[in-house]
């Protein structure tokens, strides 16, 4: 089976590098699936999961925005932040989820609702990647 080289990179450095059979992720315009030989493109990413299929397994990486650059032989994910499922601190993600939910339930005038919604999305995504939800 043909493969494509994938790199997931953040400002702090590389998070994931491997040759995979397929990359699927959520861009701001919708779900994308990339196979080897895909046409070149650049797409802004939404908060979501990058699924990397190779052989009989699928690796998951939680990303918080950024860009996806596709070339026929390589995919680069330039993310604001990214974590492999095995690297996520589940207790910390649960605490962040609960904090965000509390902020959204409290109708405090000082609450930045959009910021709380994004925090909740990030926490839910991290928990989804670990298989907790």
CA–CA distances in Å: residue 48 to residues 21, 89, 123: 20, 17, 10
Confidence category of residue 63, pLDDT binned at 50, 70, 90: very high
Domain ranges of the chain: 4-85, 89-130
Domain 89-130 carries which CATH code? 1.20.5.440
The yes-or-no verdict on residue 107 having pLDDT over 80 is no
The yes-or-no verdict on residue 112 having pLDDT over 90 is no
Q: Which CATH architecture has domain 4-85?
A: Sandwich (2.60)
Kindly tell me the number of DSSP H helices and DSSP E strands found in the chain. 2, 10
How far is 62 from 44, CA to CA, in rounded Å?
A: 15
pTM of the predicted structure, to 2 decimals: 0.86
- Do 35 and 64 form a contact (C-beta atoms < 8 A)? no
């Amino acid at each position: 089976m043909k493969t494509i080289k994938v790199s997931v990179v953040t400002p702090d450095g590389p998070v994931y590098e491997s040759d995979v059979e397929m990359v699927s992720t959520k861009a701001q315009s919708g779900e994308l699936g990339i196979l080897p030989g895909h046409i070149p493109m650049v797409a802004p990413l939404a908060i979501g999961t990058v699924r990397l299929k190779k052989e009989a397994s699928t690796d998951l990486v939680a990303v918080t925005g950024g860009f996806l650059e596709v070339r026929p032989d390589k995919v680069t994910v330039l993310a604001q932040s990214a974590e492999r499922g095995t690297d996520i601190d589940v207790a910390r993600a649960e605490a962040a989820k609960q904090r965000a939910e509390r902020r959204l339930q409290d109708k405090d005038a000082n609450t930045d609702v959009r910021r709380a919604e994004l925090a909740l999305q990030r926490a839910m995504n991290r928990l989804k990647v670990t298989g907790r939800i």
